[in-house]
Amino acid sequence: MMKIQKLRFRLLVIFFLVVVPVILPRTALSHPHVFVVTRLVSVFDDEGLAGIRVKWGFDEMFSSMIAGDYDQNHNGKLEKPEIALIKKEAFSYLADHDYFCFIRIDEKPFKVKYVREFSAFLNEGKLSYEFFIPCHVKSGKAFRKIAMSLYDPTYYTAVFFAENQPVSIESGSGFEISSTIAKNQETSYYYDMLHPWELILNFRLKNE
């Protein structure tokens, strides 16, 4: 009986994710199917910015789908072999979309070619991803500016900044740092209907 219920659930999910977008007009596609709440950690080393650690928390339906497919021993936790499979089958393809992370360094685009330290977690049935984007920017006396927008150009996934502590700093004591979150009015996506929110990070060496 449980197998039948699980099969029915998966068929229903496939219907809404695959069939419905085909038969509905374009205006109906403005609703995403996956929802992500993100937090960013700007990580510094002795020379400047080393990169950005990205933390994603997913909605209940996507969490349930991933847990059903990859929590192979059904213990409510993700172990190393399960995480490796998630990375291969449910994360790595995002490289084609810069992992939804679009970075500019002093207004010049920076291509996110790869990430490190990927991990996935289940906590009371809620799925989260964590990964690190290497992006070394050497600091000096003048301010350097990093801007990072997070969005899915197809709007299949909606990405939001967390309401509480959306950004934080790690190992930045040697630098003068300011950060804010603002809407990027110069960039649009999904038929030019949406503008992404982005982290704006300014930093320089502290004056001695």
Q: What is the structure's pLDDT at 101?
A: 97
Tokens standing for residue 186: 């110069």
Q: What is the structure's pLDDT at 78?
A: 96
User: Is 24 within the bounds of a domain?
Assistant: no
> Which residues fall within 8 angstroms of residue 138, CB to CB, at 6 or more apart?
47, 48, 144
User: Is 7 within the bounds of a domain?
Assistant: no
Positions in the chain whose pLDDT score sits under 50 = 1-28
Tokens standing for residue 128: 């989260």
Nearest to 168 by CA among 125, 199, 204, 130: 199
Q: What is the structure's pLDDT at 110?
A: 96
Q: What is the structure's pLDDT at 4?
A: 44
Q: What is the structure's pLDDT at 207?
A: 77
User: Is 19 within the bounds of a domain?
Assistant: no
User: Is 6 within the bounds of a domain?
Assistant: no
Query: Kindly report the CA angle at 7 between 25 and 20, in degrees rounded to 5?
Result: 0
Residue 85: give its domain's CATH number.
2.70.170
Nearest to 151 by CA among 195, 111, 89, 93: 195
Return d(Cα 128, Cα 171) in angstroms, integer. Answer: 24
Strand 34-44 versus strand 167-170 pairing type: parallel
Q: How many domains does the chain have?
A: 1
User: Is 118 within the bounds of a domain?
Assistant: yes
Q: What is the structure's pLDDT at 64?
A: 95
User: Is 84 within the bounds of a domain?
Assistant: yes
Q: Which domain holds residue 38?
A: 32-205
User: Is 13 within the bounds of a domain?
Assistant: no
Strand 34-44 versus strand 48-58 pairing type: antiparallel
Spell 72-101 as b/e; 16+ CB within 10 A means b.
Answer: eeeeeebeeebbebbbeebbeebeebbbbb
CA 74 to each of CA 77, 79, 123, 148, 193: distance values in angstroms, whole numbers, following the listed order: 8, 11, 13, 36, 41
Tell me how many helices (H) and strands (E) the chain has. Answer: 4, 11
User: Is 2 within the bounds of a domain?
Assistant: no
8 A C-beta contact, residue 117 and residue 131: yes
Return d(Cα 168, Cα 145) in angstroms, integer. Answer: 16
